[in-house]
């Protein structure tokens, strides 16, 4: 956090007249850096490109291996679990991700942000619901820490923020994709949960889904 704050404060102080912070946009920081020296702007741009590329590819590779692991426990189609013989790279999972990315590129950046915010809000909502349900039904469940009951009302404003995010995300072209993904995701999640429960009732200490979560977590 301090790293970002110091960079923004320095950029604000370097050129307050030529580049006022109220008018900043994408690509402004490298332009401000050229005031310090001609090479500074190029260096900042290259560092930004390298950092963003590294963050993106690490997430891409992590997602590919998660998808490949899901295929191994048969909660997604098995062809997504195919790997290269020598390196073990999950090429089919990576290809599926790449196709999704190419399809997403047909939308504008605003719509992509709506997709991302919608799915993030859904994930947080599921976590809050799971936390509340476990606290209600299994209060004696072993866990690394215990949240005081006095903090539970804080979920109310958090839920309100999630509702606001949903409201903004259910608009325009993004609404169709978000609604379709939600409509497909709910029954799929219920199917995975039901399969996991069946494996537990059959005498397995851990279901295949439990093992996948532990290994990839």
Residue 4, pLDDT > 70, answer no
The whole-angstrom distance between residue 132's C-alpha and the CA centroid of its chain comes to 22
Buried b (16+ CB within 10 A) or exposed e, 5-35: eeeeeebeeebeeebeeeeeeeeebbbbbee
pTM: 0.68
3-state secondary structure 18-57: CCCHHHCCCCHHHHHHHHHCHHHHHHHHHHHHHHHHHHHH
Tens of pLDDT, residue by residue over 10-34, are 777 776 677 777 777 776 777 777 7
As a whole number, mean pLDDT of residues 93-121 equals 85
Tens of pLDDT, residue by residue over 25-74, are 776 777 777 777 777 777 777 887 888 889 888 889 988 998 898 888 88
Question: Three-state DSSP class for 206?
Answer: coil
Residue 163, pLDDT > 70, answer yes
The whole-angstrom distance between residue 111's C-alpha and the CA centroid of its chain comes to 16
Residue 2, pLDDT > 70, answer no
């Amino acid at each position: 956090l301090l790293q970002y704050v110091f960079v923004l404060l320095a950029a604000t102080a370097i050129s307050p007249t030529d580049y006022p912070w109220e008018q900043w946009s994408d690509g402004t920081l490298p332009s401000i850096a050229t005031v310090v020296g001609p090479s500074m702007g190029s260096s900042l741009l290259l560092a930004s490109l390298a950092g963003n590329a590294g963050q993106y590819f690490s997430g891409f590779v992590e997602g590919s291996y998660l998808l490949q692991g899901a295929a191994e426990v048969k909660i997604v189609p098995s062809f997504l679990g195919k790997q290269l013989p020598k390196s073990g790279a999950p090429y089919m999972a990576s290809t599926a991700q790449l196709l999704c990315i190419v399809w997403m590129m047909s939308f504008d950046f605003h719509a992509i942000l709506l997709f991302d915010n919608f799915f993030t809000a859904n994930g947080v909502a599921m976590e809050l619901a799971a936390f509340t349900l476990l606290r209600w039904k299994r209060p004696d469940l072993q866990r690394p820490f215990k949240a005081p009951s006095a903090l539970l009302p804080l979920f109310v404003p958090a839920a309100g923020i999630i509702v606001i995010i949903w409201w903004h995300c259910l608009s325009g072209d993004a609404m169709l994709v978000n609604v379709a993904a939600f409509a497909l995701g709910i029954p799929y999640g219920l199917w995975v949960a039901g399969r996991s429960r069946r494996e537990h009732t059959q005498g397995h200490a851990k279901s295949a889904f439990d093992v996948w979560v532990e290994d990839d977590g």
